Structures are given as C-alpha cells and as structure tokens.
Structure 1
Amino acid sequence: MQSINGHSAACCNIPPVVSKGYIPKGTYETIGGLKTYVSGPPSAKKAILVIYDIFGYYPQTIQGADILAQGSGEEHQVFMPDFFEGQPAKLEWYPPVTDEQMKSLMDWFAPRKPDIAIERIPSILKNIEEKYGEKSWGAVGVCVFFRCHLGIFLIQSRADLMIYYCWGGKVIAITSGADSPWKVSAQLHPGMMDVEDAGKITIPHVVLASEEERKDMDAYEKELKVEKYVETFKDQVHGFLSARADLEDEVKRREYERAYGVLVEWFGKFL
C-alpha cells in the first residue's frame, strides 16, 4: 500500500534517526501515579499516548516517541506511561528458545495483562488534561509478542494450544472501539491480532506490521471497516520499531524512519 498521499515524503519531515547513543528529548514526570515519559511542547493542543512494548523504555522506543512529538510540523505532546512500574521484561528472554526463558516470560506476563493499562487510561488522560489543558488525542501501541506451544514448554501435556502474548498493540485495538478517547490510533508490529477487535474499531487506524505478522494481516485488514493504512514491512523482524530495532543497520534504519514517517503523516491528517 502506498503512503497516504501516494509517496513517502513524510520521511523527509521527521528528525534524522540516531543509530547509536540516542539522547532523549523529553523528560520524566509522575502522572496518575506512574512515571511517564513526556516529549513535545506543553502548549500543544494535540497529544499522543504511546503504549510501549514489553521491554519498556528502550532508546529505540523513546526515539520513536520523540519523532511523533517533533516530526509533523505541527505541535504534539507525547506521553508514554510506565505501566510496568520499573519492571519490564528482559530483552534476553526474547525470543524464548529454552524452558527457562519461556518460564521467565510467562511468570512476568502473569500479573501484567493489557488490562492494567486499559483500566488506568481514563484517569491518566484526566490527570494530563488537568495539568496541561484539554487535548485532542491519538494513540500508538507498540507490540512484541511470542507464541507458546504448551505441548513443548512448561507442562507435560500434548494439548495443541497456542498462546499469543502482546502488549501495546492489544491495548490500542481494544480502546479504539465505541466511545474511544482517541481520534486516530495505530498498532506497530502487533501480536494477538483478533479479527473481532478489528471489526470493533471505529476510528481511523494504522497497522504497520513486520514480516513475521504477514500471514495474519489480510484477515485483520479485511475486518477494519474504518479509514485505514495497513502495511507489512518486508524482511523486518517483529519489534523493528521499538526495542528490537537495529538502527546501526542502514536498511533497517531506513525502514524505521519510513514507518515513523507514515505515522507522522497519518496523525497529521486525522488528529
């Protein structure tokens, strides 16, 4: 699929992507009882809530948030709450290839279902607007997921059951339905793609997928009945726009830049 205007000029409107040693442009505040990364001018009337992936505040994810705040030519204030309260998953657990790694991930996920974010979003938005004034809201959910075949890992069972774990993308899919607080939303390399979620989305929506989600995208896109932009980025790994982004590789850095350019263009159009 082509970009919104039929070309990729949005990439020219974002700050240069830093491949190593990124210095965050924002600051950390306490909002709604949570440490929150805040980037962009406080006077902005448009705001974006970013829901990070399971690895939390990684430099590549923070740089993406800064791009959303700076890159549109319009003022956006971006907020990224620490829903994991200083206890993100460890990157070395992913992808899980041993019983020990899988157990670590499963134990970590048990108390950290997407509901812990969904339940707190209304109060977080309220607290932000009490401090900074009323905002027009968009949202981006970043996802890293894994599949667990329970016949192989952790239990002595032959049950043919696959469990899909994701985070930010799932939060955004669920909160983009009826009475959504967002005017526009996006999922980045989503896991746990449920066509029922897609059918309930009521606002303009973006899905930027990696090669690893390609087989799930057609059915998901078909159920999106709203104005949408859906693209699968060839040869990119799951997590290429967040913690697993290899920005020292020129090709991968270009695709990271292009994807965030799409988001900047999309949010500029609808927010």
Structure 2
Amino acid sequence: MASQACCNVPPKGEPAVLSEDQVDQVAGTNIYVFGDRNAKRAMVLVYDIFGLYQQTKQGAAFLAKELDCLVIIPDFFNGEGANLEWVGMDTPEKKSKMMGFFAGKASPENNLATLLSVTEEAKNLYTSVEKWAVFGLCWGGKLAALASTGQTPFAASGQTHPAFLDVADAKGMTIPHICLVSPDEPADILKPYEEALPPHSEFELYGTMFHGWMGARANLESEENVREFNRGYKQVATFFNRWL
C-alpha cells in the first residue's frame, strides 16, 4: 500500500551537488560516496522518487560519520527522478506519467536487480568492507524491504517513511529491519507490518512528522522537522551500529 503523500507532495530545497571525488561507477551505475572507502562496514542508501536531494545527502553524510562507515548511493534514475510537474497527479495526463514512471524507470523489481548487482560489484571495489547494510527512503524503502529476504547480501536493513508497504515483504525478511513511519502512511497496515517483522527489528511512528521528513521533502527550516530529522538518523545509526 502506498502513501498518498508519496506522489502528491513535492520536495523541498534543491537536488544535491557533489564533487567529482564523491562519484564512483559500479556495474555501469554512478555511485555517490560518503565516508571512508577503506571502512570495514558499509551501507547502500536508496533515495526517494525525486533522486538525491540536499537533505538526503546530509543524512548520508551523518550516517557515514556516526557509524564510521562507507555510505554509497546508487543513482538508479541516472539524474532524472520523478518530474515535479507530475506531483499531485491532478490531471489524467499527470497521473498517467507518474504511474508510467513507477512501472518503468522506478519499477521495484528492475531496480532490485540493480541494487543487488551494484552491491555485489561494490564488494570488489571496496574490498575492506566486511558487512553491508541497506537503508531506503520512501520508494527506496521498498527496495530495502525486497532486498531483505532469503540469502540477502545485507546484515541488516531499514526504511523510513516507506512507500508500498506490504505485510508479505515483512514476513519474508531474514535480517533485522528498522522501519520509521509517519501518520501519512496507511494506518491499517502499520500494526500488521510491525508484527510481521523478524526478530531484533525496530518500528516507530514519528507522530508529529509527515511522509518525507527524512528525505527530499524535509523542511530543514522548521525547528521541529530538524529535531525529528536528526532523531531519526540518530535512531537509524544506533540500530545499524548493532549489526554492522
């Protein structure tokens, strides 16, 4: 089940700007790098439908520093995330284009394959890494959930303000998982999803927040949003510190 806010609320701020030394290429995909390439632990961070925005960049940098780990963000959309003109889907044309984006470029199944291939090749590039995790925002959370089943390459996983929650995904997970949600997520699925998560997982409702408070929609001019943005990333770091 998808949050209505996923497609109806535009991002805040601007797309992230990175220096050349923050970009590697793995499996034919540009990889944005934060932290030490020689770290012993690493995280793949999967952005939301708008791509890499400044707020997500800030979160990635925080996680890299807090965990003393390598954080990589694959550019699944090759610099072209969901078009802001489609947000709101208030005309048949906009709705058709947004749904086409999810069925094509943003297809979870196709991008899951990219996530796994990038992770596998990244092991050969960042040879000092001993354990990997995956963490996704909004759309990226679906990929993190799907990548948490069976013989996953990840030691732990997580998501925040997730899109497309499905209890079946939680039931299939084989690794600890952290899930942070807002009141914008479909209320009827939250408890069943929480109960289906594997042992040693975490689930928390950020009751004063909204879908996107840790990603491209974060309003970092709001004192309350900044506080909960920081608390969320701190909670995520604490969780992954136990498993990496």
TM superposition score category, shorter chain reference: 0.7 to 0.9
Higher relative helix content: 2
CA distance in 1, matches of 2:18, 2:69: 16
Paired residue type of 2:122: I
Whether the 8 Å CA contact 1:141–1:188 is kept in 2: the answer is yes
SS at structure 2 position matched to 1:119: helix
- For the pair shown, the structure with the greater C-alpha radius of gyration is 1
Match of residue 8 from structure 2: none
Whether the 8 Å CA contact 1:22–1:63 is kept in 2: the answer is no
Match of residue 117 from structure 2: 123
Mark the CA change 1:132 to 1:225 in structure 2 (over 3 Å): closer, same or farther.
closer
CA distance in 2, matches of 1:35, 1:58: 15
Whether the 8 Å CA contact 2:43–2:69 is kept in 1: the answer is yes
RMSD between aligned residues: 2.1
Q: Figure out how many residues of one structure are paired with residues of the other and give that number.
A: 228
Structure 1, unpaired ranges of 5+: 1-18, 144-166
Mark the CA change 1:23 to 1:55 in structure 2 (over 3 Å): closer, same or farther.
closer
Match of residue 10 from structure 2: none
Listed as ranges, the matches of 1:134-213 within 5 Å are 134-135=128-129, 136-143=131-138, 167-213=139-185
Whether the 8 Å CA contact 1:240–1:256 is kept in 2: the answer is yes
Whether the 8 Å CA contact 1:83–1:116 is kept in 2: the answer is no
Paired residue type of 1:131: L
1:24 shift after superposition: 5.5
Whether the 8 Å CA contact 2:161–2:182 is kept in 1: the answer is yes
Show CA shifts across 1:218-255 (max 9, x none).
Answer: 11001113211101111311111111000100001110
Mark the CA change 1:114 to 1:239 in structure 2 (over 3 Å): closer, same or farther.
same
More displaced, 22-31 or 234-243?
A: 22-31
1:45 shift after superposition: 0.9
Paired residue type of 1:105: M
Whether the 8 Å CA contact 1:28–1:37 is kept in 2: the answer is yes
Show CA shifts across 1:20-54 (max 9, x none).
Answer: 99876871221111111111011101000011111
CA distance in 2, matches of 1:258, 1:24: 25
Mark the CA change 1:225 to 1:22 in structure 2 (over 3 Å): closer, same or farther.
closer
Structure 2, unpaired ranges of 5+: 1-12
The TM-score with structure 2 as length reference comes to 0.86
Mark the CA change 1:104 to 1:214 in structure 2 (over 3 Å): closer, same or farther.
closer
1:77 shift after superposition: 0.2
1:111 shift after superposition: 1.1
Listed as ranges, the matches of 1:229-240 within 5 Å are 229-240=202-213
Whether the 8 Å CA contact 2:161–2:212 is kept in 1: the answer is yes
Mark the CA change 1:138 to 1:21 in structure 2 (over 3 Å): closer, same or farther.
closer
SS at structure 1 position matched to 2:117: helix
Query: Percent of counterpart pairs with the same letter?
Result: 36
1:92 shift after superposition: 4.5
Match of residue 27 from structure 2: 32
